[in-house]
Structure 1
Amino acid sequence: MTKYNAKKVIVTADGTLFDEWIIKRYKLDVTGIRFDSKMEGEYYQELLLQRQYGEIKDFTCHPKFVLQEQPKVTYIADFLVTELDGSQRVVDIKGVETSTFRVKLKLFQAKYPTLPIEILAKKRGEFVPIQQIKREKAARKRAINQLIKRSEGENKHARTDRNAGEIHRNQK
């Protein structure tokens, strides 16, 4: 497990996903590509299917991009996908967006402005852009805050109405 509780996995050429700890524990002889998280392994399985069905031309795992020469800064993406028309896109699977990643993302976009990058996360069994998840989370938070504000306002009015009634009774 990594610091973000991601379990490392190995995916074989036929697309079978194995947890790395199981392979080590039982001393299995499994060859395949190692991924830092189960989500990455599952996206690799999805890319294998897309290539098989002719939806994409090809893909590369863990392509390395040099972002800066001195001091040397590199970025290792999760996938470089080649579309049917020959265009390419970088795909990165994230559970948590770290500050280091945000800095490298800005450097990447400055150095490779024509190469689009997709940052995806898994939500309810589907890979969706992380920006969509952030927008939905922010909308939920705004809705909750509005409800809290509304209920506090109603409680405030109820208290002032009660206090006014007490004052009116005391004046009699």
Structure 2
Amino acid sequence: MSKYNAKKVIFTEDGTLFEEWIVKRYKLDVIGTRFDSKAEGEYYQELLQQRKYGEIKDFTCHPKFILQEKPKVTYTADFLVTDLDGTQRVVDIKGVETSTFRVKLKLFQAKYPTLRIDILIKKRGEFIPIKQFKKEKADRKRAINKLLKQAEGERKNVRTGRNASQIHRVKK
């Protein structure tokens, strides 16, 4: 398990996901592709299906990009997907967006401006863009704060014993 509670998994050719700690504990002989999180392994399964049904041309796991020569800075993405029209895009599955990732993202965008990068997060069983997730989270927070403010206002009115018409007259 990593510092962000992501369980490393191994995806076998028959489509089975094994958590890495189980493989090590029981000394299982499992051959497959290793991923840093279960969500990443599940997205790999999704890409296999997309390739099988002709929705994408191909994909590569864990492509490396050199962002800077001296000092050497590299970025290992989760997937490099080639779409049917031949365009390529980088897909990165995130559970937590770290400050290190944000710096590498800026370096990546500066060095590879034509290569699109999709940062996805798994929410309620589906992969959505992290920007959409952040927007929904901010909207929920605003709505909660608005409700709390209304409730606090009503509580103050109850304590003072004023009703809405009396408050309106006092403010004039």
What does 1:14-53 correspond to in 2, within 5 Å?
14-53=14-53
Normalised by the size of structure 1, how large is the TM-score?
0.90
Counterpart CA distance in 2 for 1:67 and 1:10 is 28
8 Å CA contact 1:121, 1:130 repeated in 2 = yes
Counterpart CA distance in 1 for 2:65 and 2:17 is 27
Counterpart CA distance in 2 for 1:22 and 1:144 is 41
For the residue of structure 1 that corresponds to 2:161, the secondary structure is helix
Letter in 2 for 1:62: H
8 Å CA contact 1:67, 1:111 repeated in 2 = yes
What does 1:112-151 correspond to in 2, within 5 Å?
112-151=112-151
Q: Any idea what the Cα deviations from partners look like across 1:50-69, whole Å, max 9, x if unmatched?
A: 11111110000000001111
Letter in 2 for 1:2: S
Rg larger for: 1
Matched, 1:68 2:85: no
Q: Give the RMSD, CA atoms, in angstroms.
A: 1.1
Letter in 2 for 1:35: F
* 56-65 or 12-21, which deviates more: 12-21
8 Å CA contact 1:9, 1:18 repeated in 2 = yes
Sequence identity, in percent? Answer: 81
Q: What's the CA shift for 1:13? A: 2.3
Structure 2 equivalent of residue 167 of structure 1? none
Counterpart CA distance in 2 for 1:92 and 1:102 is 12
Stretches of structure 1 that go unaligned for 5 or more consecutive residues are 163-172
Letter in 2 for 1:3: K
8 Å CA contact 1:40, 1:93 repeated in 2 = yes
Stretches of structure 2 that go unaligned for 5 or more consecutive residues are 163-172
